[in-house]
Amino acid sequence: MSSLLPLFLKGKVVKGFGRGSKDLGCPTANYPLEVVQSLPKNLDPGVYYGWAQVDSQPVYKMVANIGWCPFYQNKQMSVETHIMHKFEKDFYESNLKICVVGYLRPEKNFNSLDDLIDAIKQDIVNAETRLNENEAMKLKADVFFD
């Protein structure tokens, strides 16, 4: 799987299910179906970390779920990116570029919403740590980001 990374994706931000902010306290930016369908077929579903840029703003750390979100039993695969930065307002229809640097864990179901929230918080901590490593930092400056 690691041979597929880093993985670069770009597309417009579309409305998702509205669960990130409301249920989880963790807003996410979602890609349209055509971006999701462009993913390598052998990419393992799971939680990934990397870099994200909205329009021509700075590049920020991110954590992304790529898969079916078993807790919510999604019928379609999605890429839900949580940018580790506080934005003042929504940025639907903006261009989002992400560089998927590494894999944190496989997707799994949770017994409760609280368990899912705890896992997301831990994913953010783990992403923060890994993105401070030299190899990951190099990708933040990739020419992919303008």
Q: Is residue 86 part of a domain?
A: yes
Q: Is residue 144 part of a domain?
A: no
- The answer to whether residue 133 is catalytic is no
Strand, coil or helix: what is 27? Answer: coil
pLDDT for the residue 65: 94
pLDDT digits (tens, 9 = 90+) for 63-107: 999 998 777 777 788 999 999 999 998 899 999 999 999 999 999
pLDDT for the residue 16: 81
Q: Is residue 12 part of a domain?
A: yes
CATH code for the domain of 7: 2.40.30.30
Instruction: Determine which one of 80, 128, 133, 135 is catalytic.
Output: 80
Q: Is residue 23 part of a domain?
A: yes
- Report the percent of the chain where pLDDT is more than 70: 94
pLDDT digits (tens, 9 = 90+) for 114-131: 999 899 999 999 999 999
Whether the model clears a pTM of 0.75, i.e. scores above it, the answer is yes
Total tally of structural domains belonging to the chain: 1
Count of alpha carbons within 13 angstroms of residue 69, beta-carbon side: 22
Q: Is residue 125 part of a domain?
A: yes
CA distances from residue 124 to 20, 25, 48, 51, 60 in whole angstroms, order as listed: 14, 13, 10, 13, 13
